[in-house]
A and B are shown apart, each in its own frame.
Chain A
Amino acid sequence: MWHSIPKGYHYKSSASPLVFTGIRLRYHFKDMPVEELNLTGKLDTGATFTVIPLELANKMQLPSAGSTGVLRSFDTSIRLKTYPKYRTELFIPKWGWQILDVVGCERSNNDILLGLDVCNQMLLLANWRSGGFGIRPAKPMHRILRLFFHRFRKVSES
């Protein structure tokens, strides 16, 4: 699935350009789904976990999945905060449902931060020139891409 990169996002230093819309979040209680629709997610390839707004977690009364260990931020400073974790099912359009433990945290934008736990088996391809990006299962593309980049390197070196 090919998504477009929203115009203007490139110039906002704090915003990730890879934005998904139509994300759904749910859990089941006695076979009854409790679901939230039309959420927005930003892909963050530097994050270990997916993070959801605490307000949303409280509103949905998401079930607990424990608490986080020590979190380390991008500048390697250690933060001793402890955050709640929730057991959820996350839906990304044309990608499907996946069961996931997510971290709950106050977020200034009321969106979901999609971490490597949702895309660690996937291939991410972004074209900032044309303003689009896509995600596919990585395994079938692995050999083709290795060949592509190997040849590309040879051409650049010559």
Chain B
Amino acid sequence: MKDMGARKLGEILLKKDNRDANLPKRDSQSDNFYKDFIRNVIVFKESLPRLLNEIPGEYVAILSGEIIDHRSTWESVFTATREAHPNAFVLIERVEPRPTEFIDMDSLST
């Protein structure tokens, strides 16, 4: 049930992204990267309330939709995950409350 919700949210986010005609066209490699990245972000956001209770302030590593490691410093998480998965992009996020923030950008793509 939880997986279905995450998948739906992922589909909505990807649809919204594809609507933006101003962005340069992605090749299949970066498209796959972005899909995987969004999946990891969704897993982190869904797990955040639980993680805030269990390991607040720590850094978590997420790969292919699974939390694979957590440690107290960013450096230690990065070193451990790069050694274990040298060719994969592992999302590293800090377990902290995330208020909605607005960041001004002109255009990221040009």
The residues of A with any CB-CB pair to B shorter than 8 Å are 14-15, 29-30, 44, 46-49, 51, 54-55, 58, 61, 63-74, 78-84, 87, 103, 105-109, 113, 115
Contact = CB atoms under 8 A, between A and B. Distances in A.
Contacts, number: 112
Interface stretch (B30-38, B50-58, B64-72): B30-38
Given A63-B78, A72-B105, A113-B108, 15 more contacts: A29-B79, A29-B82, A47-B104, A48-B105, A49-B103, A55-B30, A65-B92, A66-B91, A66-B93, A69-B98, A73-B105, A74-B104, A83-B108, A84-B89, A106-B30
For the complex, would chain B's binding face be called helix, strand, loop or mixed by DSSP majority? mixed
Nearest to A109: B110
A115 B108 CA distance: 10
Given A82-B41, A106-B30, A73 B106 contact: yes
A69 B100 contact: yes
A89 B100 CA distance: 27
